[in-house]
A and B are shown apart, each in its own frame.
Chain A
Amino acid sequence: MANKFLVYLDQYKGKVLPVSWETLGVALRLAGEMGGEVAALAVGAGAQEAAAQAFQYGAAEAFYADDASLSDYRPEAYSALVSRVARDQQVEALLFPTTTRGRETAAMCAIDLESSVMPDVIDLQVQDGKIVATRPVYAGKIIARTVSDARPVVITTRGRAFEQPQADPARSGTPQAVEPAVGESSLATKVVDYAPAEGGVTLTDAAVIVSGGRGVANNPNLTPPNGMDEKQAEIWRAQQGFKLVSDLAQVLNAAVGASRAAVDAGYIPYQHQVGQTGKVVSPDLYIACGISGAIQHLAGMRTSKVIVAINKDPEAPIFKYARFGVVGDLHEILPALTEEFRKRLGR
């Protein structure tokens, strides 16, 4: 019997998160190496279109469930459904993208299916017919190659660690509907409200990130408005500095990141924090402005393809990890850089 690889497509308000296709891509490779087929599963409002898209990326089958009880994401409802489909389809491996939803649904499914989950995987290989999942542990200080002796193997794949497959509109199919696994009355939670995040590219998806550190607040040439105390003036200066960061980010269609020091000082909200206790990112280009390069920060962006560092301290540790470095005042360099990119990229 051919192995079946089931991929959970994480979607939000009908739009499939791009990282889900990366997961599908690696599932296709595993299916190729171990022999088998890939099925996709989408849950929630808009799941039917999402599931239909999977055929374009190479899925042989697709399932969807869009019952009213599933319109808001609730881990108990989603995982019960995914587990049931996985069981019914007797899958060899169950793969999720590592998003908040993906990770917790995977974790619950592992319990339901009497298996274990290997989350946030950066590489998958087949050795002696078994899947070996490579995971960074200890904040990336160690690379572990992990295996599971339970079936199905449950995995979540880290964003931007795997290539996104090409979509071929010529490939198509009909997704199959599945019923929810638990009724509304059995669910102990209810989503009451949503408040969207401020717009802009999210860190984990970003191909380009421009980050600011404590150094962005250091522009002595700025005079804060009257009536501010020390701390307010500091925050005001920092906001001016982060405006330079976000101006550059805008021209590059980049996300804005921050070091822990900047977040702790109150310059920018926590969701922008890159690092060991923030988000781990792997963009193609990472521009670090006024960031010294503490180990904790490096742990969050070390695997970026190209790192550029701008810092006025020539001894800043970040220069050791940067492909390109500029020793200078970011308050002068950033606007010049923004202007130059605007010209060269025609934006």
Chain B
Amino acid sequence: MKIVVCIKQVPDTAARVVAENGQVSWGDAPLVMNPWDEYAVEAALQLKEAQGGDVTAISVGGESAKEALKNALAMGCSEAVLISDPALEGADSQAVAKVLAAAIQKIGDVDLAFFGKQAIDGDMGVTHVQTARVLDWPALTSVSTIQSVDPGAKTLRVERTMEEGRVVVEARMPAVISVLKDIGEPRYPSFMGIRKASRATIPVWTLADLGIQAPQSHVTWPVVENPPVREVKTEMITGDTPQEIAAKLVDKILAEKVL
């Protein structure tokens, strides 16, 4: 099977992110592979191990995104490609989706494109669905389990986890899949993988290589702010017995009229 996994490089989740002079800044916090994308890479590799084939990791970003791609290689992806172009600066989700779709088509004969649930910087959670729409492929999101894949018949069956419960969906390939953590803990990169990845040269595709113009972006963030500091006056509730504490606490909670 030919599998693609789309990843993004983002600031580490523990980074202190602040709005400074109208810009978002994370200081010298490290940039890492988006944590949700690690699950996508894991799912792609599990499928490759079950069905045979290869996994190509792709990312739209700047030069530093090669680090995230190297991580994907170290985990076991066979190839990695960076899509980078100055014209993509500030591209919004649907623009990125169009670029990813073009890259997936350039790779050619792709059966499945894996994505993580959302990128933890923009917290949009739409690029996977939009890439599918541009490609006119079915989108299978919130996938917790891949139940079965039939490469011959080009169909697969997945379990999606929705608010109301689990839904089993059968789909034709090629398709886009975005996965949840239930898919399995992402594997550590092996040392052999690390060696291979650190020596790999990652090709860079520009918009010209993809044969497209820069898609037009529509959404901008003219203002970014730090969240308002909530002045919380903490009141500690004490007592000699749990019952005394409980009685006092219930009084206080009821007084807040939140029940």
Contact = CB atoms under 8 A, between A and B. Distances in A.
Contacts of B87: none
A61 interface: no
Given A104-B141, A192-B169, A116 B14 contact: no
Nearest to B160: A100
A339 B246 contact: yes
Contact of B164 (A12, A138, A270): A12
Contact of A104 (B16, B129, B230): B129
A150 interface: yes
B34 to A, nearest CB: 11
A312 interface: no
In the complex, which range does the number of interface residues on chain B fall in?
35 or more
Interface in A155-213: 188-197, 202, 204, 207-208
Nearest to A330: B242
Interface stretch (A24-32, A38-46, A235-243, A319-327): A319-327
A276 B13 contact: yes
Contacts of B233: 323
A220 to B, nearest CB: 17
B212 interface: no
A195 B165 contact: yes
Contact of A142 (B169, B225, B237, B242): B225
A313 interface: no
A146 B220 contact: yes
B242 A117 contact: no
B217 interface: yes
Contacts of B24: 137-138, 142
Nearest to A283: B258
B139 interface: yes
A345 B122 CA distance: 42
Interface stretch (B64-72, B130-138, B196-204): B130-138
B172 A188 contact: yes
Contacts of A345: 259
Given A108-B133, A194-B166, 9 more contacts: A73-B167, A101-B162, A107-B133, A111-B94, A116-B95, A191-B167, A194-B167, A276-B13, A333-B246
A340 B247 contact: yes
B94 A327 contact: no
B116 to A, nearest CB: 10
A87 interface: no
B125 A119 contact: yes
Given A117-B126, A323-B232, A325-B237, A193 B249 contact: no
A298 B129 CA distance: 28
Interface string B219-259: 11111111100101111111001110111011011101011
Contacts of A136: 123, 227
The secondary-structure label for the interface of chain A is mixed
Given A111-B97, A138-B120, A328-B242, A193 B167 contact: yes
B121 interface: yes
B168 A118 contact: no
B124 interface: yes
B235 A107 contact: no
Contacts of B230: 302, 321
Contact of A332 (B92, B157, B242): B242
A141 B169 contact: no
A323 B126 contact: no
B190 to A, nearest CB: 23
B17 A142 contact: yes
Interface string A294-332: 011000001001111000000000011111111111001
Contact of A189 (B133, B170, B180, B221): B170
A75 B166 contact: no
Given A108-B129, A145-B222, A188 B246 contact: no
A100 B243 CA distance: 42
A141 B13 CA distance: 10
A261 to B, nearest CB: 14
A103 interface: yes
B250 A110 contact: no
B133 A195 contact: no
A337 interface: yes
B220 A119 contact: no
A146 B221 contact: yes
A272 B225 CA distance: 30
B19 interface: yes
B89 interface: no
A115 interface: yes
A346 to B, nearest CB: 12
A324 B252 contact: yes
B2 to A, nearest CB: 18
Nearest to A186: B136
A344 interface: yes
A326 B138 contact: no
Contact of B13 (A17, A252, A296, A323): A296
B130 A195 contact: no
A139 interface: yes
B163 A143 contact: no
A90 interface: no
B76 interface: no
Contacts of B11: 138
B96 to A, nearest CB: 11
B256 A306 contact: yes
